[in-house]
Amino acid sequence: MRSNGKKAICFYFQVHQPFRLKRYRFFDLGHDHYYYDDFSNESIMRKVAAKCYLPANKIILDLIEKHKGKFKVTFSITGIAINQFRLYAPEVLESFRNLAETGMVEFLAETNSHSLASLKSRSEFEHQVNLHKEMVKKYLGVEPTSFRNTELIYSDEIGSWVADMGYKAMLTEGAKHILGWKSPNFLYCNAMNPRLKVLLRNFVLSDDIAFRFSNKEWIAWPLTADKYAGWINKLAPSSELLNIFLDYETFGEHNWKESGIFDFLAHMPGAILKKTPFKFMTASEVADKLQPVSAMNIQNPISWADEERDITAWLGNELQAAALEKLYSLSRKVNRCDDDHLKKDWEYLQSSDHFYYMATKFFSDGAVHAYFNPYESPYDAFMNYMNVLSDFEIRLRRCFPDTAEQDQIFKLGTQVIEKDMVIEKQSEEIEKLKRKVSRIKPAVKPAVKKLTKASELIIEWNRSEKKAAEKSSATVKKRSGKTTSGKVIEEPVRKTKEKVPSKKISSTKKITAAKKTGTKAKVTRQKKSK
Amino acid sequence: MRVLMFGWEFPPHISGGLGTASYGLTKGMATFGDLEVIFVVPKAWGDEDQSIVKLIGANQVPVAYKKVHYQGFKRPIEKIEIESKIVPYTDPEDFWRMTRSEVSGYKLMVHTNNSGMVDFSGRYDRNLMDEIYKYSVVASVIASENDFDIIHAHDWLAYPAGIAAMEASGKPLIIHVHATDFDRSGGNVNPDVYHIEKRGMDAASKIITVSNLTREIVINRYNIHPDKVETVYNAVEPVSFSGESIRLKGFDEKVVTFLGRITMQKGPEYFIEAANKVLKVMDNVRFVMAGSGDMMERMMRRAAALRITDRFHFTGFLKGHDVFTMLEMSDVYIMPSVSEPFGISPLEAMQSHVPVIISKQSGVSEILTHAVKTDFWDIDAMADAIYGILNYPDLARMIIKNGKEEVIRLKWDNSARHVRDIYYRVIENK
């Protein structure tokens, strides 16, 4: 056993509340662009704030003051949760800011919308992490230096992206199937970029608090701070780092106040400091002070969810795969669009929670899933989400039409403008010629029956006009077949003498109209060349 | 002439085709002065339209302490206190909730579907049979207390009631086959249900089927003499818009709609496959599968696997006004039923100016000319038809115009006149 004397315990709490969607029906498509269930979002936030965030923050603030620098915790608050605090519970945000000011609390970076971007697109992932960094800076006044991904999803590759973005540590699950014989109670590093330290969650100690605390069937019930500290002390000889990662709602919401969870929280740090050699450290501090023992090889993404510790809670069935794929197929377009409302919705629609509701693995972890799920069935959740996503796509397309379509419109537009210029030029010419003709006419008037040069000119003019008209309509048909393919063209075309109806005009009509006015001029040109 | 009619549901408490059909028919009969209908349903709610018929709810008939002369094929009954638990009006939505939460007991099984049948979702509950027999016991009481000339029973749940009434009164029985278990089960016939159906057909003086398709099944599968079976086609009530403004669709894409129970009989999987084919060649179209049923979840997973869920929507079960809205939004209505005894819903779509594509395996295809007909399994033809109607407006216009004219001619009065003829013939022959 290495014994450089430094033993750390890292408490990290996750704070997140999604923007739940309202019942959005197929009929609402294209009509209703507001997707959120304000009532449940607000009431849940108010409830959780009163039962958990505010009392727990108060206790932690007291603990920090009491232990004078010896008690430290780490938080991660999603951008969505921050926005909900701003909307529904500003006093919670204020109390987190107070915690930040003590200097004993670290705030982690993560994806702004608690999204699954890390599984789909690196650029979207990085974009979201940067967004979140700004949010944390703006509303909590600190700059995050360590990172946690949504639901502690982690793989070597994701870790390397995070390292490239300059973070020093990343948190993930100490999943049995990736650890094998190894212990989670040491510091590890990323396999692709060893500069990134990896903190592994001790799921036994964590779940003791999160899931078993109020379970009266549990052999260790009731769990007291001293008992817990005793367990930790037993681990001391063979451990350097204990990572206790919890949903913050564990305090007061998942375990009610009546279960004694707040008393546990209030006494646990004192007991640990007194009875064990462990020191409280934040995630970044751990990364700075401890030495990693080895690299962690994790090819397939893991997470802290369910028994499997994998990503099947969000990406385990066809529905989830289809929805996620559809969602991120829109990302390129969203990024090029600068509508603030769309961007907000885009953020909120990415929450992993929407995909969690679609999980069909009801058998092993159904209880936990059902607890968080506002829908009656995963199919219900899917229907609703896809309807919302379809409406979102409709709006996106309105704000930003398909590139292919737009290119086509642009091409046709320039074509029409070119034609217009030709028409203008040629009609001028026609005018000129007409004037010429009329000047000649009075001179030949007395000798009507004799074919003059001028009348010959007129006759031939008429004849070739017909021919040209036929020809032009034929070419137009050909071209329109290639370019329009029945698409709706909405580009208003200026300068044409024909008024272009805004919808569904076939380019054939338009161009023939343009040509018809142009034929006369063309004829004269043909003539000239003869 | 007085007709004692046994049905399963009556407006406004209807869940599908059977209720619509038996109501339309009785309404048509009311136009003839010489017909008087006593309509019996298992449960009367009290708010039914009784202007045209006398409605009796089996749940309202006091049977307690009465001696019942009914030697049913189950057990002789001396005296029984009836408390009818048949609740045929459970809507499909409720039904799914119940099956999922595994509610025990009969209520589970007495869900009636669009054609008014009970779904046997693989779980056969003895209690439903009890309800059917209870209904038949009440029927014999009603038969002995009322005066009538002929008995008319709609579909298998009411056959035992019809037989009981026949045995109690000695009046001739006509049974009306809206569907057989061969349609509902796709060939996997439940022997108990078959037994009840066969018994009803044997006991009846005349059998009315809703299409020749069904007539063939009755003749071939139930061994009934062809002379005894006669087809009377269903019709459709003229639509009456309730005056509420109908919401227009909020997007540019065309809409192709499947509206009905999402179950094997209706062929939803063929719709999905056809939709997938259409989406490969055009993208300004959305597909809607409206309804619920035992195959909905499988269909959603299939659509998700095909990666078309951004264009393929599920609405869940639609009620009342939403059905009109859905039709109003539609550019094509499709009914790819694997086996459809009749199928009134395409007629309703045609009334709402929606071109329809129907499977050749539907009764309604026997009487429609201005509809596109394909085999239910022929997804290529289906995709082709969808594409054609959406992309050739002249074709759609023609189908809509002629279809509307065609459907106007399908009146319940005509069906009722036909049934009335049958009544007279049966009574004369007796």
CB-based contact A522:A426 (threshold 8 Å):
yes
| More confident call, A190 vs B136 | A190
Residues A289, A366 within the same domain: no
pLDDT of residue A77: 96
Angstroms from A421 CA to nearest CA on chain B: 34
Residues A178, A219 within the same domain: yes
Query: Which of B76-90, B228-242, B370-384 is predicted most confidently?
Result: B370-384
Residues A201, A169 within the same domain: yes
Could you tell me if residue A26 is inside a domain? no
Q: Identify the domain containing residue B330 by its residue range.
A: 254-408
CB-based contact B4:B56 (threshold 8 Å):
no
- Identify which of B250, B301, B315 has the shortest CB distance to residue A31: B250
Residues B55, B197 within the same domain: yes
CB-based contact A425:A524 (threshold 8 Å):
no
Residues A385, A499 within the same domain: no
Q: Is A41 left (phi over 0), alpha (psi -120 to 50) or beta?
A: alpha
- Identify which of A322, A387, A486 has the shortest CB distance to residue B304: A322
Could you tell me if residue A29 is inside a domain? no
Give the pLDDT band of residue B193 (cuts 50, 70, 90): confident
pLDDT, tens only, A136-189: 999 999 999 999 999 999 999 999 999 999 999 999 999 888 888 999 999 999
Residues A186, A299 within the same domain: yes
Could you tell me if residue A3 is inside a domain? no
Q: Which residues of B touch A486 (CB under 8 A)?
A: 391
CA nearest neighbour of B129 among B157, B154, B102, B168: B157
Chain A contact for B309 (CB, 8 A cutoff):
yes
Structure tokens at B170: 């000695």
Could you tell me if residue B245 is inside a domain? no
Residues B59, B206 within the same domain: yes
Residues B197, B291 within the same domain: no
pLDDT of residue A401: 61
Chain A contact for B146 (CB, 8 A cutoff):
no
Q: Do A488 and B252 touch (CB under 8 A)?
A: yes
Q: Which residues of B touch A389 (CB under 8 A)?
A: 310
Q: Do B313 and A27 touch (CB under 8 A)?
A: no
Angstroms from A504 CA to nearest CA on chain B: 11
Q: How many CB atoms lie within 10 A of CB B93?
A: 13
Which residue of chain A has the CA closest to B315?
A26
Residues A316, A376 within the same domain: yes
Give the pLDDT band of residue A505 (cuts 50, 70, 90): very low
How many beta-carbon contacts under 8 Å exist across A and B?
Answer: 75
Residues A372, A292 within the same domain: no
pTM (2 decimals)?
A: 0.73
Q: Which residues of A touch B300 (CB under 8 A)?
A: 319, 379, 382-383
| Calpha distance A376→A387 (Å, rounded) | 17
Which residue of chain A has the CA closest to B298?
A379
Residues A299, A335 within the same domain: no
pLDDT, tens only, A95-139: 999 999 999 999 999 999 999 999 998 999 999 999 999 999 999
Could you tell me if residue B275 is inside a domain? yes
CB-based contact A76:A12 (threshold 8 Å):
yes
Last residue of a domain, one of A273, A306, A339: A306
Could you tell me if residue B249 is inside a domain? no
- Identify which of A325, A376, A488 has the shortest CB distance to residue B307: A325
Q: Do B251 and A321 touch (CB under 8 A)?
A: no
Q: How much helix, strand and coil, in percent to the nearest 5, is found in chain A?
A: 60, 10, 30
Angstroms from B164 CA to nearest CA on chain A: 43
Q: Do A383 and B313 touch (CB under 8 A)?
A: yes
Rg (CA), chain B: 22
What torsion do the CA atoms of A390, A396, A400, A402 make, to the nearest 10 degrees?
Answer: -20
User: Cα separations (Å) of B59 from A148, A455, B142, B154?
Assistant: 63, 99, 12, 18
Residues B258, B392 within the same domain: yes
Instruction: Give the residue-averaged pLDDT of B81-99.
Output: 38
Residues B286, B351 within the same domain: yes
- Identify which of B305, B310, B313 has the shortest CB distance to residue A26: B313
pLDDT, tens only, A261-320: 999 999 999 999 999 999 999 999 999 999 999 999 999 999 988 888 888 888 888 889
Could you tell me if residue A217 is inside a domain? yes
Give the pLDDT band of residue A487 (cuts 50, 70, 90): very low
Residues B278, B369 within the same domain: yes
Q: Do B251 and A394 touch (CB under 8 A)?
A: yes
Could you tell me if residue A493 is inside a domain? yes
- For tokens 């060893």, what's the residue? A194
For chain B, how many structural domains are there in total?
2
Angstroms from B290 CA to nearest CA on chain A: 10
Residues A59, A200 within the same domain: yes
| Calpha distance A189→A292 (Å, rounded) | 6
Q: Which residues of A touch B252 (CB under 8 A)?
A: 488
Omega prior to A222 cis, within 30 of 0: yes
Last residue of a domain, one of A370, A400, A430: A400
The pLDDT of residue A498 is above 80: no
Give me the helix-helix angle, A453-483 and A507-529, nearest 10°. 140
DSSP-derived 3-state class of residue A35: coil
Is A157 designated active site?
A: no
- Identify which of B251, B304, B311 has the shortest CB distance to residue A318: B304
Could you tell me if residue B69 is inside a domain? yes
Instruction: Give the residue-averaged pLDDT of A328-345.
Output: 89
User: Cα separations (Å) of B308 from A357, B272, B280, B299?
Assistant: 20, 9, 10, 12
Angstroms from B366 CA to nearest CA on chain A: 33
Residues A233, A267 within the same domain: yes
Chain A contact for B301 (CB, 8 A cutoff):
yes
Q: Do B250 and A322 touch (CB under 8 A)?
A: no
- Identify which of B97, B249, B304 has the shortest CB distance to residue A319: B304
Which residue of chain B has the CA closest to A320?
B304
Give the pLDDT band of residue A4 (cuts 50, 70, 90): low
pLDDT of residue A523: 44
Average pLDDT, chain B: 80
- Disruptive mutation site among A26, A349, A398 for chain B (greatest number of B CBs within 10 Å): A26
Chain A contact for B316 (CB, 8 A cutoff):
yes
Chain A contact for B295 (CB, 8 A cutoff):
no
Residues B308, B208 within the same domain: no
| Calpha distance A20→A373 (Å, rounded) | 10
Complex ipTM tops 0.90: no
CA nearest neighbour of A192 among A172, A150, A163, A167: A163
Return the sign of the alpha-carbon dihedral for residues B253, B254, B260, B262. negative
pLDDT, tens only, A428-450: 899 889 888 888 766 555 555 55
B8, containing H or E segment: none
Residues A275, A340 within the same domain: no
Angstroms from A256 CA to nearest CA on chain B: 28
| More confident call, B50 vs A379 | A379
Residues B421, B380 within the same domain: no
Q: Identify the domain containing residue A77 by its residue range.
A: 9-17+34-306
| Calpha distance A59→A213 (Å, rounded) | 18
- Identify which of A28, A318, A389 has the shortest CB distance to residue B305: A318
pLDDT of residue A496: 43
Chain A contact for B392 (CB, 8 A cutoff):
no
CB-based contact A242:A185 (threshold 8 Å):
yes
Residues B194, B71 within the same domain: yes
Chain A contact for B99 (CB, 8 A cutoff):
no
pLDDT of residue A465: 64
CATH code for the domain in which residue A205 is found: 3.20.110.20
pLDDT, tens only, B282-304: 989 999 999 888 899 999 999 99
Residues B102, B36 within the same domain: yes
Residues B206, B320 within the same domain: no
Q: Do B304 and A382 touch (CB under 8 A)?
A: yes
Structure tokens at B51: 């202007």
Q: Which residues of A touch B314 (CB under 8 A)?
A: 379, 383, 386
| Residues of chain A contacting B, Cβ within 8 Å | 25-32, 317-319, 321-323, 325-326, 376-377, 379-380, 382-383, 386-387, 389-390, 393-394, 486, 488
Q: Which residues of B touch A325 (CB under 8 A)?
A: 307
For chain A, how many structural domains are there in total?
3
CATH code for the domain in which residue B338 is found: 3.40.50.2000
Residues B314, B354 within the same domain: yes
CA nearest neighbour of B147 among B25, B345, B4: B4
| Calpha distance A362→A377 (Å, rounded) | 10
| Calpha distance B94→B111 (Å, rounded) | 9
Could you tell me if residue B283 is inside a domain? yes
pLDDT of residue A391: 92
Residues A365, A422 within the same domain: no
Q: Do A383 and B300 touch (CB under 8 A)?
A: yes
Q: How many CB atoms lie within 10 A of CB A70?
A: 15
Instruction: Give the residue-averaged pLDDT of A33-58.
Output: 94
Which residue of chain A has the CA closest to B250?
A30
Catalytic residue among A151, A249, A253, A347: A151
pLDDT of residue B83: 35
| More confident call, B356 vs B59 | B356
A188, containing H or E segment: strand A188-190
Could you tell me if residue B248 is inside a domain? no
Could you tell me if residue A23 is inside a domain? no
CA nearest neighbour of B117 among B197, B232, B27, B56: B197
Q: Which residues of B touch A321 (CB under 8 A)?
A: 304
DSSP A166: T
Last residue of a domain, one of A245, A274, A306: A306
